[in-house]
A and B are shown apart, each in its own frame.
Chain A
């Protein structure tokens, strides 16, 4: 299994500001995934972060709003830009295990006022 650490674990932000979430994995992985879990909802994939190339975004998510960096095989960041209250969610980083399951970080709980 992979150990995934996310920072911050939670934050309260003002409308219009941006927040960068960090994800550190204890082993090298090809792809890292960023999910959003809105209050009381299931998980929605935001994007897939590939090392050395642009992230691949899912329908409804754009790079200007959710820029992603992937500087090496163990680290990624997701920025939530120009935040509004609708961005209040838990943001989860995940990686794939050897047998296809996903491992998740504990999530970053974001509240936008």
Chain B
């Protein structure tokens, strides 16, 4: 079945450091790929997405490129801030009839220190 494998955390960085959170997937077909973020005490929010190979999703300084050849969707940010401290989830999805269901990775806890 479909699955998403994320880099294990927790990850601790200093402010302004470079961030990479690895995500690889297994799927039959061509899914859409997503990164969600969960700030402390809050629900999940969509951070960025890519719907086909070589697409780059970006938002709030974060980027991820859909790499079909390596089945990856790594999340990057050039300079993290304390406010980026959160749990990050990689996910893939296919349409199922008229709606989409997502398969999530295990999540990566990021802590950014001032």
Contacts and interface: CB of A to CB of B under 8 A. Distances in A.
Decide if the interface of chain B is mainly helix, strand, loop or mixed: strand
Most B CB contacts (10 A, CB to CB) among A33, A101, A107 go to: A101
Nearest to B93: A100
Contacts, number: 54
A100 B106 CA distance: 21
Most B CB contacts (10 A, CB to CB) among A96, A100, A104, A106 go to: A100
A113 interface: no
B98 A102 contact: no
Contacts of B45: 104
Interface residues of B, number: 22
Interface string A24-55: 00000011010000000111010010000000
B101 A92 contact: no
Interface of B: 32, 34, 36, 42-46, 49, 51, 89, 93, 95, 98-102, 104-107
